Chains A and B, each alone.
Chain A
């Protein structure tokens, strides 16, 4: 623990950190532009200069390690003055140079009000500029539909370049030219092919890279900021929803080191325009084959007429990928009261069984502890698409180990942004590893903390349970389950899935699962099918069944529905989600649902009242009380609780006989996975850009 004297006070600071971090630890703020704790050190903005006593010149505190400073000859620890005349003059000089070429267009700049340069110029700048010549001007660059550029404002901190290269793993941004002619650009100005690219907008300390869809929409001080949780994937990234009046204007990441650090995917960030379009803002009822608007009373009366007195076994309910725990619990309770065992939250047909224990369907290692792993086996998973932020964690670990993290993949050939060995295409390779016949089994056995990660394509198939138990056999066989380390991981792609499994939203005794329900509906064996935001099933196969669709967006489900009940989206209700690790988090209400739309649990409650099987709760608090009683783990908010490992070991005992079918791809188009994203024009443009890129690689070959 080196000792330092910072501004006259002696401190012990951890070994190996930099001066700027040491100052931060003891509460002394140093201005900076290029330095960022999660990126490599560049040392090129010079804003963090401080005086170190004994040094002939000011020192860039971001690039100087505390361990490299020596005490003075008389034994006094290294002395840093951050408020001295020397430091102040150095900072003012740097700031004056930075402002030489920075345009004075703050009034028309979107960064205004949240601009590091603006703030630091006020706090550390010189009172006037002495530069009288013309400022330089730089051509703006095209960086895709998310990033608006005003490159004249760029101060060449290279944070964006480092982010794309190091964290996103897509080296497409660079600093070309030199000196005054330096410019940030992508190669030949194509859009950035990364689903984390919009994070560079947050990283940019000036207004050079701003959000294109949000351009000129609002000033930061006009916005109401609501901390919430993202549900575009099952990672549960911490987000901040910025809204004004009735509209969400943007979504930004919040720092949560345990989950998303400070990154979010482009879909999480830019799906907000989908919250405005294609919304179901009033109930609809199908009359003479056509959907027509109606009142809540009419819609619910129509449902009551069909459901009242119907045979419980002919009622089915499917919960979609975005459903929150509260409404799933309400719908499950309703189905119970109707005597129906036909409920399923696994609309992709995956074969999880909550009865086997929580560890059989969670990402048990936890996202945070990916940084301890020393070997990774991906089974039918493409984490870059299923959970971009989680993939960047694996990449981070790969970088921490200097590229020596062995990664094996069984499944489709994909780009993970880090190198991997493709071991095979289907279950037979997994079986080889389980039997120790494959070389990679040795790698996993030798690793101290191996991880096995199963993606949706591995489970969402008829023999999903066989694959699961085979993977559990691999995990137990290679010692992935001991000493407090659980290396058996399920990577979900749907935000609703884990909470649904926790609640037991799966078929009861003799109940029908998703596939069986669809088949039954097609045969005419199902009278009523209740879709809770379930859009990703084959609507054309539902036959003559009476379909109730409850959800926020007019998507596949609403098109097929006989009655539409308009619900709230995740920014419009306070609701519970469990991420793929089983971490339970809550969204917050930033705005109100549009029109007549209502919070989802209250819709189910109203339906139950009309049927005459009233749910045993009248408020959200009462609902939660009942829900926590039936699934206590959902009450453990914002914590990661390790699940019982023994259930994985038990599952491993099953003699698995999977088919030879190779693993497919879960997500065809990352940007169009759910109803909100499909309603978003921004997502559509990103999807089009991706399709163009694929075409280009096809012909360039």
Chain B
């Protein structure tokens, strides 16, 4: 981590879309009278989503004015929380986990893949589609090494598989998130080694297939914009 500053080039203006504005007003209502400032983080997050993944200076002021806060108070918050990006990010924002378990399992290779396929850290690629950064533990150590691309986790990566994901996303294909080496969720890599005796299961075959962990919406895990 390093000193965080607002981006040098800023848009002229920021306003919530009508839907976001309605949502924001509802969010502010959740807090007692005089405590509107409590809504600052949700509102900033929504502003970041609307703004393409980063908080601009007009957006910061917009949120501050909406909540009756001094600009400096909101500035303190966006600089404190590293999930608020102060610099523009690519359409696909790759966050490489670099904490110990991922590092031991090859996150350095993933960074190399990012440098090769995207460019230097914290810069947007020339086509505007990608940028990447290193983050602290994303809590998927069992599937190390891993990256988060926008909202989705891509796990059990290698330099090659991450490179392929980036290239497929660049072509506009959708890449299913989750483990990329055929592993089922966070089950043991060598395949199941407990509860494998089928005789322990009853005759009732109703319900989902063993190993089914997804949702009913097959598209829910597809990567895309925020």
| Interface residues of A, Cβ cutoff 8 Å to B | 139, 165, 171-179, 181, 183, 185-188
Which of A165, A176, A188: most chain B Cβ within 10 A? A176
* Pair A177/B72 contact, Cβ less than 8 Å: no
* Pair B73/A171 contact, Cβ less than 8 Å: yes
Q: Please give me the 5 A-B residue pairs with the lowest Cβ-Cβ distance, nearest first.
A: A171-B70, A174-B72, A176-B79, A187-B71, A187-B72
CB neighbours (8 Å) of B73 from chain A are: 171, 174
CB neighbours (8 Å) of A185 from chain B are: 72
CB neighbours (8 Å) of B71 from chain A are: 187-188
CB neighbours (8 Å) of B80 from chain A are: 176-178
| Interface residues of B, Cβ cutoff 8 Å to A | 1-4, 6, 57, 70-73, 75-76, 79-80
* Pair A177/B79 contact, Cβ less than 8 Å: yes
CB distance from B10 to the nearest CB of A (A): 11
* Pair B75/A174 contact, Cβ less than 8 Å: yes
CA distance A188 to B61 in the complex (A): 12
* Pair B75/A181 contact, Cβ less than 8 Å: no
* Pair A183/B3 contact, Cβ less than 8 Å: yes
CB distance from B8 to the nearest CB of A (A): 12
CB neighbours (8 Å) of B72 from chain A are: 171-174, 185-187
The answer, among A139, A176, A181, A188, for a CB contact under 8 Å with B76, is A176
CB closest chain-A residue, reference B72? A174
* Pair A177/B70 contact, Cβ less than 8 Å: no
CA distance A185 to B5 in the complex (A): 12
CB neighbours (8 Å) of A176 from chain B are: 4, 75-76, 79-80
CB neighbours (8 Å) of A174 from chain B are: 70, 72-73, 75-76
CA distance A279 to B70 in the complex (A): 42
CA distance A173 to B72 in the complex (A): 7
CB neighbours (8 Å) of B2 from chain A are: 181
Which of A165, A178, A181, A187: most chain B Cβ within 10 A? A187
CA distance A176 to B72 in the complex (A): 8
Which of A172, A177, A179: most chain B Cβ within 10 A? A177
CB neighbours (8 Å) of A177 from chain B are: 3-4, 79-80
CA distance A165 to B80 in the complex (A): 19
Which of B1, B2, B3: most chain A Cβ within 10 A? B3
A-B contact sample (11 more), CB < 8 A, given A179-B1, A181-B1, A188-B71: A165-B70, A171-B70, A172-B70, A174-B70, A174-B75, A174-B76, A176-B76, A177-B79, A185-B72, A187-B71, A188-B6
CA distance A172 to B64 in the complex (A): 13
CB closest chain-B residue, reference A138? B3
The answer, among B1, B4, B75, for a CB contact under 8 Å with A187, is B75
CA distance A174 to B79 in the complex (A): 11
CB closest chain-A residue, reference B71? A187
CB distance from B13 to the nearest CB of A (A): 12
CB neighbours (8 Å) of A173 from chain B are: 72
CB closest chain-B residue, reference A403? B34
Complex A-B: 13 CB contacts under 8 Å: A171-B70, A171-B72, A172-B72, A174-B73, A176-B79, A176-B80, A177-B4, A177-B80, A178-B79, A181-B2, A185-B72, A187-B75, A188-B57
CA distance A165 to B3 in the complex (A): 24
CB neighbours (8 Å) of B4 from chain A are: 176-177, 181
CB distance from B55 to the nearest CB of A (A): 13
CB neighbours (8 Å) of B76 from chain A are: 174-176
CA distance A234 to B25 in the complex (A): 47
CB neighbours (8 Å) of B75 from chain A are: 174, 176, 187
CA distance A178 to B3 in the complex (A): 9
CA distance A187 to B57 in the complex (A): 11
CB distance from A211 to the nearest CB of B (A): 22
CB distance from B131 to the nearest CB of A (A): 21
CB neighbours (8 Å) of A172 from chain B are: 70, 72
CB neighbours (8 Å) of B70 from chain A are: 165, 171-172, 174, 187
CB neighbours (8 Å) of A179 from chain B are: 1
CB distance from B80 to the nearest CB of A (A): 5
CB distance from A42 to the nearest CB of B (A): 14
CB distance from A693 to the nearest CB of B (A): 14
CB neighbours (8 Å) of A139 from chain B are: 3
CB distance from B148 to the nearest CB of A (A): 21
CA distance A614 to B1 in the complex (A): 79
CB neighbours (8 Å) of A165 from chain B are: 70
CB closest chain-A residue, reference B69? A171
CB neighbours (8 Å) of A171 from chain B are: 70, 72-73
CB neighbours (8 Å) of A187 from chain B are: 70-72, 75
CA distance A179 to B57 in the complex (A): 23
CA distance A187 to B5 in the complex (A): 11
CA distance A210 to B190 in the complex (A): 65
CA distance A179 to B2 in the complex (A): 10
CA distance A477 to B1 in the complex (A): 64
CA distance A176 to B70 in the complex (A): 13
CB distance from A658 to the nearest CB of B (A): 37
CA distance A168 to B161 in the complex (A): 57
CB closest chain-A residue, reference B76? A174
Which of B71, B72, B75, B76: most chain A Cβ within 10 A? B72
CA distance A187 to B3 in the complex (A): 15
CA distance A139 to B2 in the complex (A): 13
CB closest chain-B residue, reference A165? B70
CB distance from B57 to the nearest CB of A (A): 8
CA distance A175 to B72 in the complex (A): 9
CA distance A174 to B75 in the complex (A): 8
CA distance A176 to B60 in the complex (A): 14
